[in-house]
Amino acid sequence: MHKILIGTNNRAKTKAVEVVAGKFYPDAIFVNQEVSSQVSNQPMSNEETRQGAINRAKRLMQDFDGTFGIGLEGGVQEISDTMYVCNWGALATKTGEVFTATGAGVALPKEIADSLKEGAELGPIMDVYTNKKGIRHHEGAIGVFTNGFVKRSDMFEHIMLLLIGQYELSLKTQNAKLDLQE
Ligand SMILES: O=P(O)(O)OP(=O)(O)OP(=O)(O)OC[C@H]1O[C@@H](n2cnc3c(O)ncnc32)[C@H](O)[C@@H]1O
Ligand SMILES: [Mg+2]
């Protein structure tokens, strides 16, 4: 049986983990544990966002018991005067392995980029921009700026496939090595 630790209570992230992991491991149980990312509340680079995902996943495996821990982190990064959302995921195992993957990015309007540079967080900015509450739990900025075509949970689902794919491949490789030794 798989016990899968999720390092957040965010609903878009949780949905993505449950949908994808639930497909591969129908008997899985999911446990949400809010853990610190140990990076800024609003990561401003690919590096920082990736580190936040890794920190969450590792922290889960240090503090709790599970088959693996999933850290998902959202951030932004500026490339040639355009601010993009960036997203990372990490899967940490009991044995200390950490798999990482990045997700889709989409450009943000200049006024949002300016607010971010002034120190505001994307979550609250998006709520003001859309006049809705909790966008970060639902379609997210990526949904708002893609006409709803790719929602935040869809994007994290893709990251989850990338993570579980790498994890399953590593298990296969380990099993193949064991077979050779026998
Ligand atoms: O509870 P946690 O897991 O921390 O979930 P979160 O929504 O705060 O997500 P992150 O910490 O990973 O993201 C960092 C910040 O960027 C915001 N953010 C990132 N991607 C977003 C998106 O697609 N839509 C709205 N806000 C987003 C988010 O609300 C935070 O203010
Ligand atoms: Mg957060």
pLDDT digits (tens, 9 = 90+) for 10-48: 999 999 999 999 999 999 999 999 999 999 999 999 999
Burial class (CB in 10 A: 0-12, 13-18, 19+), 168: exposed
pTM of the model: 0.96
44 ligand 1 Cβ < 6 A: no
Grade residue 179 by pLDDT with cuts at 50, 70 and 90. confident
CA proximity to 151, closest of 161, 163, 138, 160: 138
Tokens of 34: 């809010």
Strand, coil or helix: what is 88? Answer: strand
Eight-class DSSP state of 120? -
Interface predicted TM-score (ipTM): 0.95
Using CA positions, which residue lies closest to atom 10 of ligand 1? 74
* 79-83 mean pLDDT: 97
Element (H, E) at 158: helix 152-181
142 ligand 1 Cβ < 6 A: yes
CATH of the domain at 109: 3.90.950.10
Number of domains in the chain: 1
Q: What is the extent of the structural domain holding 153? A: 3-181
